[in-house]
Amino acid sequence: MRLPQTDASQLLRASVVGAVLAAVLLGLVLAAMLLPARSAAGSDLRLIHSERSLYRQVLVYQDAEDRCLCFTRECAIGRQSCMDLRSPERLVFQYTQMMLGALYLNPQPRRILIIGLGGGTLPTTLERLLPQADIDVVEIDPAVVRVAQQYFGFHADAHVHVIVQDGRVYVRRALRSGERYQLIMLDAYDSQYIPEHLLTREFLSEVRSLLTPDGIVAANTFSSSRLYQNESVTYAAVFGPFYNLKSGNRVILAANGPLPSLQQVASNERRFRDVFRSYGFAARAVLARFSTRVDWDPHARVLTDQYSPANLLNSLGH
């Protein structure tokens, strides 16, 4: 609908003010959502590493308890990864705990793909849990790989392989070469949000094609993003029903075939109770977050390569 000129001008002024306020509020929300279970931000927080890569500022901060990888000064918009300096194996973030809930759907994946390295928490933990698995980790930024190795104890070896490449490029090439994975984890972020080309129906369809018939995808996203409705319908369009796990972040768990029942999920959860306790969390607490309830507008617009305004929606509040 075209508005009269005077109404359009007033609306423009109001929308600019609203956009500024939304951006400020969004920054506060994002900062809160990516904080570890206990805050690492103390008076003794200090910068121990800083470099400018081709893609971003890569920073490492540390206090008496935690060491954190950030993409903004003072970790102003959350932390990409954190390590407990006193207990390095403990999973600091709840979202990493929820991502491991993918093992309740497929407890013994032999081939795993992780898109987005961060500090390397997920591949490091999965290698300990599944020593026979082959794990491919795709990270676009070589600076992030160096920092994960130097400051967070991550290392590649015979079972963990690092590919420095854009995640979508890798998925397409892997499809052409006939690769297949039983578990794919999507955990790629820039300083603000998930890159747009890793959010669309086309990309998720490529990811699904890369899965084995019993394959599972686990995706880390936000529980209160302005794209929540669109992301939800996009995953549903590609995978059908999925499990929705929420804390500050949310994790989507979807299957290439029929979604395992909650009874199957609960049965598999029991296998991990002892081992997850050694990583500082309760397997049952992750199980309690499993839900298939549709809490989004099913008529929202699906994100596509032609319609994926992630940066606009999240930065300007439209």
Computed from CA positions of residues 67, 72, 73, 74, in that sequence, does the dihedral angle turn out positive or negative? negative
pLDDT recorded at residue 98: 98
pLDDT recorded at residue 310: 57
Examine the pLDDT at 7 and tell me if it is beyond 90: no
The pLDDT tens digits for 82-98 are 999 999 999 999 999 99
> What is the rounded CA–CA span in Å between residue 114 and residue 145?
13
pLDDT recorded at residue 75: 84
Q: Is 248 part of any domain? A: yes
Q: Is 66 part of any domain? A: no
Alpha carbon separation from 138 to 148, 171, 233 (Å, rounded): 13, 9, 26
> What is the rounded CA–CA span in Å between residue 160 and residue 144?
16
Question: Could you give the count of Cα atoms lying within 13 Å of 148 in the half-sphere of its Cβ?
Answer: 22
Examine the pLDDT at 298 and tell me if it is beyond 60: yes
Q: Is 35 part of any domain? A: no
Residues 6+ apart with CB under 8 A from 71: 56, 57, 58, 59, 77, 80, 189, 190, 191
Q: What is the CATH number of the domain that holds 122?
A: 3.40.50.150
Active site residues: 187
Examine the pLDDT at 239 and tell me if it is beyond 70: yes
Examine the pLDDT at 111 and tell me if it is beyond 70: yes
Examine the pLDDT at 37 and tell me if it is beyond 80: no
pLDDT recorded at residue 19: 39
Mean pLDDT for the stretch of residues 218-237: 93
Token pair belonging to 289: 């977050």
Mean pLDDT for the stretch of residues 288-302: 96
Q: Is 216 part of any domain? A: yes
pLDDT recorded at residue 11: 32
pLDDT > 90 fraction of the chain, expressed in percent and rounded: 74
pLDDT recorded at residue 122: 98
Q: Supply the range of the domain harboring residue 134.
A: 94-305
> What is the rounded CA–CA span in Å between residue 56 and residue 69?
12
Mean pLDDT for the stretch of residues 204-228: 95
Dihedrals phi, psi of 111, to nearest 5 degrees:
-130, 125
pLDDT recorded at residue 217: 98
Taking all residues of the chain, what is their mean pLDDT, rounded to a whole number? 86
Alpha carbon separation from 318 to 18, 137, 221, 306 (Å, rounded): 9, 34, 19, 17
The most confident of 22-26, 66-70, 314-318, by mean pLDDT: 66-70
Examine the pLDDT at 2 and tell me if it is beyond 70: no
Q: Is 18 part of any domain? A: no
Mean pLDDT for the stretch of residues 107-121: 97
The pLDDT tens digits for 270-289 are 999 999 999 999 999 999 99
Q: Is 214 part of any domain? A: yes
224 in Cβ contact with 296 (< 8 Å): no
Task: Report which of residues 265 and 5 the model is more confident about.
Answer: 265
Token pair belonging to 196: 């747009």
Q: Domain total for the chain?
A: 1
The pLDDT tens digits for 40-98 are 344 578 999 999 999 999 999 999 999 999 998 888 777 889 999 999 999 999 999 99
The pLDDT tens digits for 153-176 are 999 999 999 999 999 999 999 999
Q: Is 300 part of any domain? A: yes
> What is the rounded CA–CA span in Å between residue 254 and residue 105?
9
Q: Is 314 part of any domain? A: no
pLDDT recorded at residue 313: 60
